[in-house]
Chains A and B, each alone.
Chain A
Amino acid sequence: EAGVTQSPTHLIKTRGQQATLRCSPISGHTSVYWYQQALGLGLQFLLWYDEGEERNRGNFPPRFSGRQFPNYSSELNVNALELEDSALYLCASSLSGSYNEQFFGPGTRLTVL
């Protein structure tokens, strides 16, 4: 069974640009979560989507946004990139609801120059 997949693996952008990161959940999972992991720091919760709707978001500015498609894949968009947005962005999926175990993808390494 395929795990959570993310693309691209690496992404290099310059300040002010926009970045789009993609995630495909495990088949049968309807919840998708996005996390930011800056170098040397713990995972910070960004967004949670379930059944196509945003259920919750972490303490990040509005330029971090996303959506979930009918096939439950998800996209994370970061507008007006800043240097401190450089981080590993992890996507996780679970069965519907926030109490089920989350399975993580390999991450997208975003570098902002």
Chain B
Amino acid sequence: KNQVEQSPQSLIILEGKNCTLQCNYTVSPFSNLRWYKQDTGRGPVSLTIMTFSENTKSNGRYTATLDADTKQSSLHITASQLSDSASYICVVSLQTGANNLFFGTGTRLTVIP
């Protein structure tokens, strides 16, 4: 069964600290993996996208890693800011099929001063 699981479900960190969010998937055949940031009550915004051959990709203070062998991805946030408070969603795409996106339930990050 194609699934995407994220951990932790929620996380609270102090401003300026680093954190790492995890995504494990069983989606196959794998096409790509995206991390989205979703502010409360708003639509998700893409942070990074990685294909099978990419191990790491950065977008400012956000760095995503992918291990296609173990089917794991992580999103590392450096020097967190209050504006990083949001839900972070991992989305995995199949290579085939008309409905080929599988969404994780997200990690709710709260950055406190």
Residues of chain A touching chain B, judged by Cβ–Cβ distance below 8 Å, are 4, 41-45, 48, 55-56, 58, 88, 90, 92, 98-99, 101-107, 109
Contacts and interface: CB of A to CB of B under 8 A. Distances in A.
Interface residues of B, number: 21
Nearest to B108: A40
Contact of A99 (B34, B44, B93, B106): B93
Nearest to A45: B99
B43 A4 contact: yes
A92 B36 CA distance: 13
A99 B42 contact: no
B72 interface: no
A55 B99 CA distance: 9
B41 interface: yes
B43 A106 contact: yes
